[in-house]
Amino acid sequence: MPIIGPNGAGKTSFVHALTGSIPATSGAVLIAGEDVTRKSQAARVHKGLARTVQINRAHRADRGPARPLWA
């Protein structure tokens, strides 16, 4: 699901609250109808909600194409 908006609109805060890295201050987070608002991040992952980060750099001149840290 894309989340768009201007700088300072709260996109990152929304994702943090949705994924449980910060507590939601109001409302509820539902996954398949189950309230996970007060559940841990791990519990949310087990329900299918996960977060990834964007890598802005696809190539490093000093090391060639970027690779995952575990590769």
Q: Which residues, other chains included, contact 2 with Cβ-Cβ below 8 Å and sequence gap of 6+?
A: none
33: in domain? yes
pLDDT score of 71: 52
6: in domain? no
pLDDT score of 54: 73
Alpha carbon dihedral 53, 54, 55, 58, in 10-degree steps, equals: 140
pLDDT score of 44: 92
Range of the domain at 27: 11-65
53: in domain? yes
pLDDT score of 50: 82
Whose tokens are 């908006």? That residue is 5
pLDDT tens for the 71 residues of the chain, in order: 788 999 999 999 999 999 999 998 899 999 999 999 999 999 999 998 888 777 766 656 666 665 666 65
**Which among 46, 51, 58, 56 has a CA at the least distance from the CA of 11?**
51
Number of domains present in the structure of the chain: 1
71: in domain? no
3: in domain? no
